[in-house]
Amino acid sequence: MVCEEIQWNAVNNAQKIKPMKLNAPSLVIMMSLLLLSCASSSQKGVKTTSSPLTTEIGIRTDAFFKVTGIERFWTLEIYADRIKFISLNAGETFETPYTMPVISGNSMIYKSKSASKEIEIVITDGKCDDGALDTPYNKIVKVNLKTVGSEQVAILKGCGNYIQDARLNFVWVLQEMKGKKVTPEDFGKELPYIDIHTTETAFTGFGGCNRLKGKIEAAEANKLRFTEIVSTKMACISGNKENLFMEVLQNATKYEVRDKKLYLSNQQGIVAVFTKGT
């Protein structure tokens, strides 16, 4: 409101100034500086807030699934916001919006379309050989392509893998659990931690009393599950919250990495917050 009044007064005063004292270019410069000053001052008073589960920097922006065509002339990449079909043939590369997959048996099916193209991607568990013998694949992929308005469908076959998020490859120390801060005293004398190894799709760690290890299953841009968790059987002090920590790991389904923190969540919201270990 203050800037609006200053701008209004400046315009009125400028109209009263004789032409020989302030020519048109000078007036333009003066008004531009005034507007920049107001914009800067207004920004200082603005507070921005964002949820850890919705910030753009939290969800990965690289492709989380890649396909190599057995026909060798095409590849495909799936991102958090789009599906990209890449062809060596001129004019056949295109993108469509990302859509949530439908699960059918042991397959995941994506269906998406743009103004000119329709695509269906069927991803099925299983070893796949693209003929190159240089990359092991554990997903069999079928792609159905169609030009909008046409009945002709091109059926392509390929091999794919989920691309693990390298940002997870750290030791993560627990800081919050189910909305409450935790301290070493909650677990005896040391905070729990997890050490994630994406290349082995595994993790090791400490639950606050016992050593633990297990597998990780990552899918989509922000899906993560901790499975096959096993631990040592040490006797724990009374009141130790290790069992709650194990429950949190087992129930987590999503993740985000933001501001050097790892957020685990499920349908109920954030269940744990970790910071990078030193």
pTM higher than 0.85 = no
231 and 211, same structural domain? yes
* 9 Ramachandran zone, left/alpha/beta (phi>0; psi -120 to 50): alpha
263 and 186, same structural domain? yes
CATH of residue 240: 2.40.128.270
pLDDT at residue 131 in the model:
81
Domain boundary among 140, 162, 184: 162
Mean pLDDT to the nearest integer, 200-228: 94
pLDDT over 80 (residue 114): yes
Residue 60 lies in a domain: no
pLDDT at residue 133 in the model:
67
CA distances (Å), 75 to each of 107, 122, 219, 233, in order? Answer: 19, 14, 19, 48
Residue 278: which pLDDT band, with cuts at 50, 70 and 90? confident
Two tokens, residue 236: 């724990």
Strand runs labelled E in 21-71: 65-69
pLDDT over 50 (residue 63): yes
CA distances (Å), 164 to each of 127, 184, 226, 248, 270, in order? Answer: 18, 31, 14, 22, 21
Residue 46 lies in a domain: no
172 and 134, same structural domain? no
Share of the chain above pLDDT 90, in %: 67
Residue 73: which pLDDT band, with cuts at 50, 70 and 90? very high
Residue 140 lies in a domain: yes
270 and 171, same structural domain? yes
191 and 182 Cβ atoms separated by less than 8 Å: yes
pLDDT at residue 90 in the model:
83
Domain boundary among 130, 162, 194: 162
Report the candidate in 106, 164, 113 with the shortest Cα–Cα distance to residue 140: 106
Rounded Cα–Cα distance for residues 64 and 81 (Å)? 11
What's the structural domain count of the chain? 2
Residue 206 lies in a domain: yes
Residue 13 lies in a domain: no
Residue 35 lies in a domain: no
208 and 187 Cβ atoms separated by less than 8 Å: yes
Tens of pLDDT along 220-261? Answer: 889 999 999 999 999 898 889 999 999 999 999 999 999 999
Residue 186 structural domain: 166-276
Tens of pLDDT along 74-93? Answer: 999 999 999 999 999 888 99
Q: Which residue has the higher pLDDT, 22 or 235?
A: 235
Task: Quickly list DSSP for 66-117.
Answer: EEEETTSSEEEEE-SSEEEEEESSTT--EEEE----EEETTEEEEEEE-SSE
Count of residues making up the chain: 278
pLDDT at residue 204 in the model:
98
Q: How big is the chain by its Cα radius of gyration, in Å?
A: 27
Domain boundary among 115, 139, 162: 162
pLDDT over 90 (residue 23): no
Report the candidate in 203, 208, 262, 191 with the shortest Cα–Cα distance to residue 230: 203
Rounded Cα–Cα distance for residues 270 and 251 (Å)? 11
